[in-house]
Amino acid sequence: MHSPVIAPSLLAGDHARLAESAAVVSALGISWLHVDIMDGHFVPNLTFGPETLAALRRAGCGLFFDTHLMVSEPGNFVEAFAKAGASRLTIHVEPPYDHAAVLRRIRDLGCKAGIALNPGTPPGAVEHLLAEVDLVLVMTVQPGFGGQAFRRDTLPKIAVVDGWRRQRGLDYRIEVDGGIDLATAAECRAAGADTFVIGTAFFKHPDKAALAAAVGSL
């Protein structure tokens, strides 16, 4: 199992001071920043575009941009986000497009590639893509808005994806996103997750360093 990684979500930061929110993460020695991209079609919300990532890079942000594309047609966007400074591009399995081809394109652009599935999507939907990715993102809330309650019915799905990883000798990380705090991260870790997107619980925490250390020790 991989060592645990915390990926604070920029969505929960101060949208008027995104560079400052990213700097808070960097100052704690955290290396990952989760960036949620929503198109208003696949999910009922709009967030950031490629220029947001590019602006953060110009501002000197050197964090690993764990970029989550919650969009209906990710193939139309991967090049722009790669050029803007994304480190990983994670796409969703639910929309109908050639997932394997887009994952190959992401890697050809020099980024790591991930596949995501929503709470209601069975794990078998991504099984044929496991050898093509370095990360599987199991959404633990229905994507679209931050601050939702963690869904414990997703824990068995995490265990299934972890079981496949072990059985097949694959090395992908298992990420969880939605309602994650220290307590729910521990539940997910027990099920096999190793990468924890924490938004509201991170940016509103009175001792962010302690939270990051506790997640890192799971």
Neighbour-count burial of 188, counting CB atoms closer than 10 A to its CB (0-12 exposed, 13-18 middle, 19+ buried) = buried
Question: Catalytic residue at 177?
Answer: yes
Q: In whole angstroms, what is the distance from residue 48 CA to residue 191 CA?
A: 31
Positive or negative, the CA dihedral 84, 89, 95, 99 is: positive
Q: Per the residue annotation, which of 39, 66, 177, 194 is the catalytic one?
A: 177
Q: What are phi and psi of 4, to 5 degrees?
A: -70, 145
- The single residue of 36, 39, 66, 162 carrying the catalytic annotation is 36
Whether 98 sits among the annotated catalytic residues: the reply is: no
The H helix count followed by the E strand count for the chain is 8, 8
Positions marked active-site: 36, 177
